[in-house]
Amino acid sequence: MSTHTAAKQKTNPVVKGLETLLADSYALLGQTHLAHWNVEGPAFFALHAAFQAQYEELFTAVDDVAERIRALDAYAPGGLATLAKQSSIDEMTVGPAPAKDFVAHLIEGHETLLAGAKELRKVSEEAGDLETQDLVIARIQSHEKTLWMLKSFLKNL
């Protein structure tokens, strides 16, 4: 790939959207890992295991998103500081917190990511990039499923 092509792709709205999706997914992965480590209380075992399954799924997802950026002849951003700057996922304060707060915090993170992903689905459709759109639709489905699970945990029946 020439430097010229890489520079041109940097302004491609699909690539920009994928960069945001990558940054948000990485940030959410970090927040889910933090929740896995620090959750406490009677629901510890269930949540500790659920959060692990969620961050493992996100770890696979960031690889797919980064490789899609490369397939579009652009370079994938990386490094915690760079990704943190590009992400809009809030960080949770480290300290004692009710288990439900970890769940609620992750719900907000998934909602933030979903809003960006839905925008990217539209942008990739308008660009005629159905392969990116397919990847993004799969990500949306995964995040909506996780949201259902997290919200179900907070229900008091």
What's the chain's length in residues? 157
- Binding part of the chain for another protein, among 80-88, 97-105, 115-123, 135-143 by CB under 8 A, reads 97-105
> Please, what is the minimum distance in Å from the beta carbon of residue 38 to another protein?
14
With CB under 8 A as the contact rule, which of the stretches 8-16, 75-83, 91-99, 115-123 interacts with another protein?
Answer: 91-99
Q: Does 100 bind another protein (CB under 8 A)?
A: yes
Nearest residue (CB) to another protein, 84 versus 107 = 107
Q: How far is the CB of 97 from another protein (least distance, A)?
A: 7
By C-beta, is 15 or 103 nearer to another protein? 103
**Applying CB under 8 A, does 108 fall inside the site for another protein?**
yes
Nearest to 87 by CA among 42, 26, 144: 26
C-alpha distances (whole Å) from 85 to each of 20, 27, 77, 79 are 10, 10, 11, 10
In one letter, which amino acid is 43?
A: A
Q: CA separation (Å) from 30 to 52, 55, 107?
A: 11, 8, 14
Q: Which is nearer to another protein, 105 or 121 (CB)?
A: 105
Q: Are 69 and 26 in contact (CB under 8 A)?
A: no
Amino acid residing at 133: Q
Whether 134 contacts 20, CB under 8 Å: no
- 42 near another protein (CB under 8 A): no
Residue 114 within binding range of another protein, rule CB under 8 A = no
Please tell me whether residue 154 binds another protein under the rule CB under 8 A. Answer: yes
Task: Single out the residue of 56, 101, 119, 125 in contact with another protein (rule: CB under 8 A).
Answer: 101
How far, CA to CA in Å, does 109 sit from each of 5, 41, 124? Answer: 33, 22, 23
Residue from 2, 3, 60, 156 in contact with another protein (CB under 8 A):
156
